[in-house]
Amino acid sequence: MERRSFLKSSAIAAGAVVSGSLAHAAASPVSKPVIEKHNFKLKYAPHFGMFRQSAGEDLLDQLQFMADAGFTAFEDNNMKGRDVATQEKIASKMANLGLEMGVFVAHTIYWTEPSLTTGNKESLDQFLKEITESVEVAKRVNAKWMTVVCHHVLETSSGKRAGHSTGQ
């Protein structure tokens, strides 16, 4: 076959494929993107918002999308701040989809100042109250793990991290 004939035939074939695909796309109703399910061997745990462009703003639809994509776990750092009814809906949807609850943040985190290491009774009381509340959230959403940050870390002028504690 001559190169010129081959190129001409290839261009015609490619045009037919593209026009056929465009005609099929035009005839198809608008729907959410279809993704191929992947069987992850590790418990990768996406969180709300990661797939909102594909699944929409609804939290339960986002969970469905995660499960459809093959994820087997989910995390939500804001779970404790959600109302009980929402937590229960999320837990029910996760149970139906076979999604395991990953971590959520259990208490107020003070990123720029020490809290639990100061010896301040009010800080300790607040922490214990929030942890007690978080245990209830964990029961509600079938969580086994919570994120707890009990000390902040400062970077020194040399760029090394150093723990900081007052009230030693």
Q: What is the DSSP string of 71-120?
A: --EE--TTGGGS-HHHHHHHHHHHHHHTPEE---B-S---SSS--GGG--
pLDDT score, position 165 = 45
pLDDT at 61 over 70: yes
Locate 157 and state its tokens.
């002028």
Angle at Cα 105 formed by Cα 145 and Cα 135, nearest 5°? Answer: 55
Mean pLDDT of the chain: 80
Model pLDDT, residue 77: 93
Q: What is the DSSP string of 130-168?
A: HHHHHHHHHHHHTB---B---S-EEEPTTS-EEE--S--
pLDDT digits (tens, 9 = 90+) for 127-146: 999 999 999 999 999 999 99
pLDDT of 168 strictly over 50: no
Using left for φ > 0, alpha for ψ between -120 and 50, and beta otherwise, residue 119 falls in left
Q: What is the pLDDT of residue 154?
A: 65
Give me the mean pLDDT over the 120-133 stretch.
Answer: 94
| CATH code for the part of the protein at 52-163 | 3.20.20.150
Residue 166 pLDDT level (bands cut at 50, 70, 90): very low
Token look-up 């399910």 returns 37
User: In this predicted structure, which of 59-63, 116-120, 157-161 has the lowest mean pLDDT?
Assistant: 157-161
pTM, to two decimals:
0.67
- Give percent of the chain above pLDDT 90: 52
Does pLDDT of 126 surpass 50? yes
